[in-house]
């Protein structure tokens, strides 16, 4: 026999003060995950010699700017890098330490 579903308000702890911050954390976590994946891909391509010197410079500059922007956004909203690391339970954390 299945248990009846609880009302949404009993399943999700949401209040007006925290919803915006939690949504921001989620968006920044996704951006940080994509940034780290792009960085790893760039390093892999550099190691394989797939990029010209100009491409390496441009890619490095773009990644540095993105990292600076992420740092500025985290600081603006009072978040640390660890705040963006979602705990996936037995799988560990989403982002590498």
Write down the residue that tokens 């491409």 correspond to. 55
Instruction: Give residue-wise pLDDT tens across range 32-79.
Output: 889 889 999 999 999 999 899 999 999 999 999 999 999 999 999 899
pLDDT at 12: 57
User: Which residues sit opposite 93 in a β-bridge?
Assistant: 87
Task: Estimate the crossing angle of helix 53-76 against helix 16-48, to 10 degrees.
Answer: 160
Q: Is 17's pLDDT higher than 90?
A: no
3-state SS string over 28-84? HHHHHHHHHHHHHHHHHHHHHCCCCHHHHHHHHHHHHHHHHHHHHHHHHCCCCHHHH
Its pTM stands at 0.71
Alpha carbon distance 74, 28 (integer Å): 8
């Amino acid at each position: 026999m299945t248990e009846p579903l609880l009302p949404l308000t009993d399943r999700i702890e949401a209040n007006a003060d925290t919803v915006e911050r939690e949504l921001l954390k989620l968006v920044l976590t996704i951006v940080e995950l994509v940034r780290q994946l792009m960085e790893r891909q760039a390093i892999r391509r550099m190691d394989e010699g797939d990029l010209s010197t100009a491409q390496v410079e441009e890619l490095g500059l773009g990644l540095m700017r993105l990292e600076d922007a992420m740092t500025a956004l985290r600081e603006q909203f009072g978040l640390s890098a660890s705040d963006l690391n979602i705990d996936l339970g037995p799988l560990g954390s989403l982002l590498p330490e």
